[in-house]
A and B are shown apart, each in its own frame.
Chain A
Amino acid sequence: MRFSSFCAVDRKTLGRGLLAGLLALALSACGGKSYVVLLENPDGSTGKIVVKGAKGEQSVSVAGQGVPNDGSAPPAAIPQAQIERDFGAALAAQPKLPVRFLLYFQSAGVALTGESQALLPKILEEVSQRPAPDVSVIGHTDTVGKAEMNEALALKRAEAIAALLKDKGLKVHALSVESHGERNLLVATPDETAEPKNRRVEISIR
């Protein structure tokens, strides 16, 4: 229980406005040596983590707050200086975040819309900016027609796009060309529903 009493003292001293350095020191004792801290998502939103340990269960949904890995104390703010000290190297090593493009087709065939055609240079540029680029080209259809036919059509679309990108000079470390057929809809629809948004090829660039 030493852990929680430490935390209680910290909050009081925090209220009295102690020196920032001392505060960081006190809070680091509160956070413990083995702990997890929630951070803001790259898009500015914040998600949630749930920690289940031998000494309790905690959930954290405020960026900058952390809990001990054993779940023994409720969420508390972790000072920026401590995050930098404990995670600076790991944060600095974060690779460039993956990006995803959606390409759309004119109709039932494999010809891209003009807008999607215009995205191709941007796709090549994103690939070229990454070390050991790992790219997936994933074909999708809407639900018009039989599932097996759509599986084949989606693969044909993905292969067509992969070939097009290669023609334009795509250089990758690894490339996978896949079909999700009609099983991974972007817009949920009943069977036998024409939906242009579902007739797509996704390009995941990592």
Chain B
Amino acid sequence: MRHAIWLAAFWLAGSAGAQEAAIGYVKNVSGEASVITAGKSAKAAVGTPVQQGSVLRTGPKSSLGVVFKDETVMSFGPDTELSVDDYLYQPGQGKLKLGSKLAKGSLNYVSGVIAKLQPEAVSVATPAGIIGVRGTHFAVRVEEE
């Protein structure tokens, strides 16, 4: 019984999230790319929503572009994997955070409103360290050992 309640709660939270919690959208894809949200993988296409916790992946010879609600722009080269671990964009309440992690590949990053309003709330983690973003454009590459 307890299990059933938990499952129902989980399912409700999940379905509500799918409707409301798009934090950005895929804007362009070339080759093979996917958006993995809550363990479910969807082929990335123009308009595919990205949510907090989503993992963005590109295959060989592929690329992907995403624009987030706060106007942060990210684009990815081939063989890339990035997870959007934290995303909070409620300027009215001062709730701002954008934490992502580049596991491998190449990322081009143009920071948005969150970095403008609260620079210390924006970071990109890599396997070797963490990049703090002070309102700017940069590119980062992670090559697997």
- Complex Cα spacing A96 to B69, Å: 14
- On whether A206 and B138 interact (CB within 8 A), knowing A131-B27, A131-B28, the answer reads no
Residues in A neighbouring B71, C-beta threshold 8 A: 97-98, 100, 204, 206
Q: Mark A146-183, 1 if CB is under 8 A from B, else 0.
A: 00000000000000000000000000011000011101
Q: What is the total number of residues of chain A having a CB less than 8 Å from a CB of chain B?
A: 52
Tell me which residues from 60 to 83 in chain B have a Cβ below 8 Å from any Cβ of chain A. 63-69, 71, 73, 75-78, 80
Complex interface bits, A24-57 against B, C-beta within 8 A gives 1, otherwise 0? 0000000001111111111000111111111000
User: Which residues of chain B come closer than 8 Å to A87, judged between CB atoms?
Assistant: 77, 106, 108, 139, 141
Partner of A86 from B129, B135, B141 at Cβ < 8 Å: B141
A54 partner, pick from B24, B69, B129, B131, beta carbons under 8 A = B129
Binding-face segment, A4-12, A15-23, A68-76 = A68-76
| Beta-carbon contact of A184 and B137 below 8 Å | no
Identify whether the interface residues of B are mostly helix, strand, loop, or mixed: strand
Report the bound CA distance from A69 to B73 in whole Å. Answer: 21
Pair B64/A132 contact, Cβ less than 8 Å: no
* Pairwise interchain contact B139-A97, C-beta atoms closer than 8 A: no
Let me know if B46 and A131 touch, CB within 8 A: yes
Which B positions have Cβ atoms within 8 angstroms of A?
22, 24-28, 30, 46-47, 63-69, 71, 73, 75-78, 80, 91-93, 106-108, 110-112, 126-143
The complex places the Cα of A82 from the Cα of B129 at a distance, in Å, of 22
User: A51 and B75 in contact (CB under 8 A), knowing A33-B143, A90-B108, A91-B108?
Assistant: no
Residues of chain A touching chain B, judged by Cβ–Cβ distance below 8 Å, are 33-42, 46-54, 68-71, 83, 86-98, 100, 130-132, 134, 136, 173-174, 179-181, 183-184, 204, 206
A89 touches B142 (CB 8 A): no
In the assembled complex, the Cα of A96 lies from the Cα of B134 at a distance in Å of 21
On whether A89 and B77 interact (CB within 8 A), knowing A47-B135, A181-B92, the answer reads yes
How many contacting A-B pairs (Cβ < 8 A)?
167
In the complex, the answer to whether A136 meets B69 with C-beta atoms within 8 Å is yes
Assess whether A132 is in contact with B47, with CB atoms less than 8 Å apart. Answer: yes
CB-CB under 8 A from A68, the residues of chain B are 128
- In the complex, the answer to whether B126 meets A39 with C-beta atoms within 8 Å is no
Complex: A184 Cα to B113 Cα, angstroms? 13
Bound state CA distance, A37 and B127, in angstroms? 16
Closest approach, in angstroms, between the C-beta of B44 and any C-beta of chain A? Answer: 11
Q: Is the CB of A95 within 8 A of B67?
A: yes
Q: Which residues of B contact A69 (CB under 8 A)?
A: 126-129, 131, 140, 142
A206 and B25 alpha carbons, distance in the complex (Å): 9
Most chain A beta carbons < 10 A, residue from B75, B126, B136:
B136
User: CA of A96 to CA of B26 in the docked complex: distance in angstroms?
Assistant: 12
B112 to A, closest residue via Cβ: A98
B64–A93 contact, CB under 8 A?
yes
Please determine whether B139 and A34 come into contact, CB atoms closer than 8 angstroms: no
**CA distance in complex: A68, B129 (Å):** 9
Contact of B25 among A34, A70, A174 (CB under 8 A): A174
Indicate whether A39 sits within 8 Å of B27 (C-beta atoms), given known contacts A90-B106, A93-B65.
no
A41 in contact with B134 (CB, 8 Å): no
Q: A36-B131, A131-B47 are in contact. List 5 more A-B contacts (CB 8 A).
A: A48-B134, A52-B132, A89-B78, A93-B108, A206-B25
